[in-house]
Chains A and B, each alone.
Chain A
Amino acid sequence: GEQVEQLPSSLIVQEGASVLINCSYTDSASVYFPWYKQEPGKRLQFIIDIRSNMERKQNQRLTLLFDKKTKHLSLHITATQPGDSAIYFCSASINYGGSGNKLIFGTGTLLSVKP
């Protein structure tokens, strides 16, 4: 079935460093790719998304790159802060037989930013 692979599974960096999280998906019919952040005990928070007609999207310190040909996405976070510490999930949207869309999630990347 459809799969989303995410690497690395964890990252530990010093405050101010940049990080890169990679994601690949299998279903070529996927057209929408939202990313979420989950802090301990908090809800899954939408942070950025990209659609298949774009190659790049930026939102402040977040840059999301998309390569349709290789079915690959990467999230770049610059100038990391301790508040960025969380689990980051990539996902791919797949049409659910005409009934709407479902998200297939990656396994998550645990980011720890040390002050």
Chain B
Amino acid sequence: GALVYQYPRRTICKSGTSMRMECQAVGFQATSVAWYRQSPQKTFELIALSTVNSAIKYEQNFTQEKFPISHPNLSFSSMTVLNAYLEDRGLYLCGAWTGGNQDTQYFGPGTRLLVL
């Protein structure tokens, strides 16, 4: 079946430092990958949508300079949170689209970022 893995599951970083998180699609080829941040109130913010061989599209309030994304192939994506501060805390979710006629998005378990 289709599964999405994320690594690490949890990370703590010092304020002003950066951390990288990874997303791996297993059992299918992800035509595009979306990165979201889930707040403590459980609401979702889309950070960016990355489609292989297309420019990565960032939502308002999120920039490539702050959240650079790499999407080298149809099964792997990574995102870095640069210069993390308290407001960057949250659960970062990767959602991978399967493509095709029954295009469906499957999510990884998330990377929880704590900033000290």
* A residues with CB within 8 A of B: 32, 34, 36, 38, 42-46, 49, 87, 89, 93, 96-97, 99-105, 107-108
* B residues with CB within 8 A of A: 4, 31-32, 34, 42-44, 46, 49, 51, 54-55, 57, 93, 95, 97, 103-110
Query: Are B34's CB and A103's CB within 8 A?
Result: yes
Query: Are A105's CB and B43's CB within 8 A?
Result: yes
Query: Are B44's CB and A43's CB within 8 A?
Result: no
By secondary structure, the A interface counts as strand
Query: Are A103's CB and B55's CB within 8 A?
Result: no
By secondary structure, the B interface counts as strand
Find chain A residues with CB under 8 A from B109 CB.
Answer: 42-43
Find chain A residues with CB under 8 A from B55 CB.
Answer: 99
Give the docked Cα–Cα distance between A42 and B107 (Å). 11
Knowing A46-B104, A107-B43, the reply to whether A99 touches B51 (Cβ < 8 A) is yes
